[in-house]
Amino acid sequence: MANQQTLAEWLAGQTAGMPQGEALAETIRSVADGAARLSAVITRGPLIERPADQRSIRGVMEEQANAILLEAAQAAPVAYFASEDREEIATLDESAPLALAVEPLDGSSNINANVSTGTIFSIYPRGADAEASLVRPGREQMAAGYVMYGPHTMLVLTVGRGAAAFGLDTETREFLCVVPELRTPEDASMYAINAANYRHWEPPIRAYIDDCVEGKSGPRDKDFKMRWVASLVAETHRILTQGGVFLYPRDARPGHERGTLRQVFDANPIAMLAEQCGGGATTGASRILDTVPDGLQSRSPLIFGSARKVERLRRYHEDPDFIGGEAPLFGVRGLFRS
């Protein structure tokens, strides 16, 4: 459509008057340009050039994603660049005003099956040093977004003034605004969780899912649908646009006691987007954006989606009946009958 705003036009309006607004807009444009390049690489799929003895395209695409996003950061006013796939933060230009964290290719384990993948990014003001710039509460993010490489390439973005969605025009390689004000519906009867981990979950999560599974015969008095793609970007896009709740809780498996997703690269940007779309995001008991990561690669639970559903899950975690024991029988618990 001729009247669709370009990403550059949208950013000019959104960042006007913001501290470091020009630098923020320039950095987002650079990340978007990198994502457009990466989209073309992913579209080639099995046709991508790779060593003759390397059957999987996953490793090659992960390397290219890292290289492309690093180039994007180098072309922007970014002091520090962190990738989930690298242990160390790269110093690019210490005089620059911003810090950028990226998950270059989320869902790459599914890429050989041609399942949607994505890039997640988060932008902060530069701090006293590299670690202080990125290891901080998520509420200090200036912007957050993701790009989903699926049947079409979508960018969903916030600079703290609501969220918008953009589609990639493959002819011009420009992102055009398709949803100026993205809001998450409240009434969807959908949840996303990896049910294979049921036996490892804490009682509040089991109780919530049990109630959903019981459907109309349980305390929720309605039927639910479960979805699970195992690609955070794909899950996020469905929840933000169609409603429902996503759960990746901590559990009893070794190494998962504090959660599975990385807070800096995954939980913080998705939580900011969820809130800017009118929803919520929590660890189960605490607001994600208020928690402080222990380090660059520290893990976190992540529950986000429609506001009322996230609030209900918070109440499940606060119910003393669930602390230290099994959930009560459906017929006994009455707190959530609404």
Which amino acids are annotated as binding site, given as ranges? 106-109, 194
Question: What is the enclosing helix (H) or strand (E) of 163?
Answer: strand 163-169
Please give the Cα distance from 271 to 289 (Å, whole number).
7
Q: Which residues are documented as binding site for substrate?
A: 106-109, 194
Coil vs helix vs strand at 271: helix
Alpha carbon 8 to its chain centroid, in Å, reads 22
Distant-in-sequence, close-in-space partners of 206: CB < 8 Å, separation ≥ 6: 198, 327
| Longest pairwise C-alpha distance within the chain | 62
| Straight-line distance from the first to the last Cα atom of the chain, in angstroms, rounded to the nearest whole number | 44
Please give the Cα distance from 259 to 246 (Å, whole number).
14
Please give the Cα distance from 218 to 321 (Å, whole number).
18
Query: What number of CA atoms fall less than 13 Å from residue 131's CA on the CB side?
Result: 9
Distant-in-sequence, close-in-space partners of 48: CB < 8 Å, separation ≥ 6: 41, 57, 60, 61
Q: What is the DSSP string of 300-338?
A: E-EEEESHHHHHHHHHHHH-GGGTTSPPPPTTT--TT--
CB 292 within 8 A of CB 316: no
